[in-house]
Amino acid sequence: MTTIDKVYEEAVAAGLLPGASLIAGSINGETTFCQSFGRASLKEGVNRPFTDSTVCAVASMTKLMTSVAVLQCVEDGLLDLGKDARSLLPQIGTHGIITGFDDEGNTAILKPDSTPITLRMLLSHTSGHEYDWLSPLLGKWRASRNEGPWTGPTVEHKSALPLLFTPGTSFAYGAGHDWAGKAVEVATGTTLEDFMRARIWEPLGIAEDASFYPKTKEGMKARMADLSTLNDKGEPPAVDAPDFDILFGGTDCLGGAGVFITPKAYSIFVSAVSRRDAKLLKPASFDELFRPQLDETQEQALNDYVDQSPIHSRLLAMRIPQSIRKSWSFAGLIAKEGQEGRFGPGTVFWGGVPSTQWFIDRSTGIYGAAFCQTLPPMHPKILELHEKFQRDMYKLAITNSEQS
């Protein structure tokens, strides 16, 4: 048993995780590590193992796929990263900018704004949107309308929100990828599900293992993992979470959060992205995918935003130390410097609500992804496990490099 096997086996035995799957490889395409642990469900009478064929909700790890889909549409001449997307998405930005809230009158203070909102802004979280569950101001706005945060069936229900700042002037983590996925649908006249199947999943041979609607597909439904949760203090043992709807009533293809996929299939996708597979994008588009998108002001706003509160750091920092400068690409969060024993400079990360995470470390030549289905979101003790996984893969890559 390797060190990392032991770490996850102990986490399963302690009840921190019902199950998990880890996959890593070299950027030349070789899989260097693949291991799964524990169970896919804590439901009574269900004893399915968690494997690399278990169907998982990956939540915000959907964003990387949507960024690729948008860039494919740009290559096709159907979308333009620099054009105002309001004509494609008529409900975007219609509430203007929220500047405050009148508690006595229970009304938001809104300022009209018609600044162009581009796909570049939507994919880099500089459009002015913020998730309402992260923003107290938007939370008040929702409550004043008798609405819950991020609820409803469509992108419009969930994400037609007041903006927090003038588009292009700052950074906030929001539903830009949901809107960008909707732009793909408008531009192509098809669903994001059908577009991704034709342009991403089928070319990579993973179409039977990925969907926005796994419960409608017999081949996937029986393999779905069930979400579990730790207690209110975030302590084990985890228990089944039958009432938690990870889509909060969503029925649209949610480009920021809606894909269900197996660890093996998602890792095939991350591997293809890491080695810049021509099945997905042209070289110039991969350059755009990985390029830091933030100017100096936006980058400072990102770093301030991640450090704004413990919950922001937990959800967004990926356990990257505060001392390491961060930027943002269409792919995800960029660590501009390396961290000794863990990753090299320019490594890109992102994760998802059920404490899932991926990384691409091109300077070291490795990628990896860790899957589980456990709440609360991005639980610190689980992310600590994933960091140990990353460190082990880094150490293995360095050792192999020194021996070759």
Residue type, 298: Q
Q: Are residues 91 and 239 in the same domain?
A: no
Q: Is residue 200 part of a domain?
A: no
Which residue spans within 312-355 are E strands per DSSP?
Answer: 326-328, 333-335, 347-352
Half-sphere exposure in the Cβ direction for 185 (13 Å, CA): 17
**Residue 38: pLDDT over 90:** yes
pLDDT digits (tens, 9 = 90+) for 194-243: 999 999 999 999 999 999 999 999 999 999 999 999 998 999 999 999 99
CA 46 to chain CA centroid, nearest Å: 28
Sort residue 189 into left (φ over 0), alpha (ψ -120 to 50) or beta: left
Packing angle of the helix pair 62-75, 263-274 (nearest 10 deg): 50
Count: domains in the chain: 2
403 pLDDT tier (thresholds 50, 70, 90): confident
Q: Are residues 245 and 390 in the same domain?
A: yes
The pLDDT of residue 1 is: 57
Q: Are residues 130 and 164 in the same domain?
A: yes
pLDDT digits (tens, 9 = 90+) for 252-297: 999 999 999 999 999 999 999 999 999 999 999 999 999 999 999 9
The pLDDT of residue 400 is: 83
Q: In terms of residue numbers, what domain contains 341?
A: 3-59+218-403
Three-point CA angle 72, 77, 78, nearest 5°: 80
pLDDT digits (tens, 9 = 90+) for 135-164: 999 999 999 999 999 999 999 999 999 999
pLDDT digits (tens, 9 = 90+) for 323-354: 999 999 999 999 999 999 999 999 999 999 99
Q: What DSSP designation does 48 have?
A: P
Q: What is the CATH number of the domain that holds 310?
A: 3.40.710.10
Q: Are residues 287 and 147 in the same domain?
A: no
Last residue within a domain, chosen from 136, 166, 188: 188
Q: Are residues 13 and 142 in the same domain?
A: no
Count the Cβ atoms, other than its own, within 10 Å of residue 363: 12
Q: Are residues 113 and 245 in the same domain?
A: no
Arithmetic mean of pLDDT over the chain = 97
- The rounded distance, in Å, linking the Cα atoms of 218 and 121 is 38
Q: Are residues 50 and 93 in the same domain?
A: no
Q: Is residue 198 part of a domain?
A: no
Q: Is residue 213 part of a domain?
A: no
Distances (CA, A) of 252 to 155, 179, 225, 256, 314: 7, 11, 21, 11, 28
Q: Are residues 166 and 281 in the same domain?
A: no
The pLDDT of residue 369 is: 98
- The rounded distance, in Å, linking the Cα atoms of 108 and 19 is 44
Q: Is residue 203 part of a domain?
A: no
Q: Is residue 205 part of a domain?
A: no
Q: Is residue 212 part of a domain?
A: no
pTM greater than 0.85 (yes/no):
yes
The pLDDT of residue 121 is: 98
The pLDDT of residue 404 is: 65
Q: Is residue 384 part of a domain?
A: yes
Four-point Cα dihedral 357, 358, 363, 364, nearest 10: 80
Q: Are residues 150 and 238 in the same domain?
A: no
* Residue located via tokens 């597979």: 277
29 pLDDT tier (thresholds 50, 70, 90): confident
Q: Are residues 20 and 118 in the same domain?
A: no
The pLDDT of residue 401 is: 79
Four-point Cα dihedral 209, 214, 215, 219, nearest 10: -20
- The rounded distance, in Å, linking the Cα atoms of 16 and 240 is 12
The pLDDT of residue 236 is: 97
Q: Is residue 132 part of a domain?
A: yes
Interval 83-93 mean pLDDT: 97
Q: Are residues 35 and 82 in the same domain?
A: no
Spatial CA neighbour of 51 closest among 371, 300, 348, 387: 371
Q: Are residues 39 and 149 in the same domain?
A: no
CA 85 to chain CA centroid, nearest Å: 22
Q: Percent of the chain scored above 70 by pLDDT?
A: 100
